[in-house]
Chains A and B, each alone.
Chain A
Amino acid sequence: MFVLATAAVLLALLLAVIRAIRGPTVFDRVLAGNTVGTLAILLLASIGFLTGRPEFLDIGLTYGLLNLIGTFAVLKFFRHGDLAYDVDENKEGKAWK
């Protein structure tokens, strides 16, 4: 049963990585990266059950939190061209292209 779950997660991971490679825009890649993060949590959980070492889940939780921060950092950079962007400073932002 856990083998099935692991196989499904790996297949989904493969497809997400293909999307990340094909792009075409940076937002497709960020989206694929975010999905890879979600799938990594699931992979860690199912491998933990598969090998009888459920402590892997703690790593998964940490990975999920870091994944969110990473996604925001990339999005913020591509939206404002700056990680320390201040809303009051510039209403329009500098659309980075």
Chain B
Amino acid sequence: MEVIADAISWILIALGSFFLVSGAIGLIRMPDVYTRMHAASVIDTLGAMLLILGFVFQAGFSLLALKLLFVIALLFFFGPVASHAMAQAALHAEIEPLLAEDRRGRKVPGDDEPEPGGQPEGVPST
């Protein structure tokens, strides 16, 4: 039983470390701030959570495991809030995203009429 838990936690920690490092490489390689956010969210979600799940298997059934689960919950609930605030603030400061395709003017099913100019609210006009 002990051996199995050890093996699982080994695998989880190794995978988590891999995703941490590759997310950080993405942070360096990506060309602009919006794409870098995607790389950072790999660290925040899969990397951090797999690593901590690996620690949970090491901690066993204890108060420590519960605290590690709180760390996961913290990242799960506050991570997207911070990412969203960052993306919105960057858009507000009129930092232009590198885009292959801009579909912000597209008509969403259920739209009665396309918005005038095709630019929805909250998007800096260019």
Query: Contact residues of A with B, CB < 8 Å?
Result: 1-2, 4-5, 7-9, 11-16, 18-19, 25-28, 30-32, 34-35, 38-39, 41-42, 45-46, 49, 54, 57-58, 60-61, 64-65, 68, 71-72, 75, 78-79, 93, 95-97
Contact = CB atoms under 8 A, between A and B. Distances in A.
B10 A1 contact: yes
Contacts of B18: 8
Contact of A12 (B20, B70, B88, B90): B20
11 contacts: A5-B54, A19-B27, A35-B40, A38-B75, A42-B20, A42-B51, A60-B71, A68-B82, A72-B82, A79-B93, A97-B93
A45 B37 CA distance: 24
Main secondary structure of the interface of A (DSSP, over half): helix
A15 B111 CA distance: 44
Given A31-B37, A49-B55, A16 B68 contact: no
A15 B85 contact: no
Given A1-B10, A39-B20, A42-B48, 5 more contacts: A8-B16, A12-B23, A31-B86, A38-B79, A68-B78
